[in-house]
Structure 1
């Protein structure tokens, strides 16, 4: 009986440690500092590139950004105006997206992207 309990606990621990999915995060209404000397678009493009994202201008206030890490890929859409920007999930490969849940690294990448954009916006004053 003890060996059965030990095997059960070991298998449970392996299963729980293997869970890497978390709720997908979209960032909405991230503030843009007032009096930014650099254009918002240029700050977003530089922020993307600084974190390894490939930005592509989609239209006047939208940038699609892509990142590839080994076999994992993510695509986000960054929309912006003079006051705020948003980062929204579009698509991914090998990040186990399933009904609003995704591999935890995706959210880390998005938070780092947002921090990089904020840094570019703040340093451009």
Structure 2
């Protein structure tokens, strides 16, 4: 193998390694410094989800299911909440390469964006 071929293969291998499309599944567990009513928490979570294009479905007191579908990618989450904390947990997905605790990077970006949106809405409530 000549030096040019070896160099080209090394570059390609480095690029492919840096482009990993999966990462560990990101579950969110937020503890809040402020207390909110159950209704405030529920509305903040639902409105944040809707703003981020999630379909949010209240299941029972303190539990909301979320579903996001973009093209052929689908993510299902469960959000549990109390007056002072909330959790966003992975439930299932379609076409997101989920397996062995890993999932496509898009899922983690969606959940991080949802978490940030929930925090913004709760901050706005606290400022009132």
Number of aligned residues: 125
| C-alpha RMSD of matched pairs (Å) | 2.0
Rounded to whole Å, the distance in 1 between the matches of 2:36 and 2:26 is 28
TM-score (norm 2): 0.86
Give the structure 1 partner of residue 119 of structure 2.
Answer: 118
Structure with greater contact order relative to length (CA < 8 Å, sep ≥ 6) = 1
Sort the Cα spacing of 1:59 and 1:35 in 2 relative to 1 into closer, same or farther, 3 A. Answer: closer
| Deviation >4 Å, runs of 4+ | none
Cα displacement string for residues 59-107 of structure 1 (whole angstroms, at most 9, x for unaligned residues): 1110000111222111110000111000000011111111111111111
Give 5+ residue unaligned stretches, structure 1: none
Structure-to-structure mapping, 1:1-125, within 5 angstroms: 1-31=2-32, 33-34=34-35, 39-124=40-125, 125=128
Give 5+ residue unaligned stretches, structure 2: none
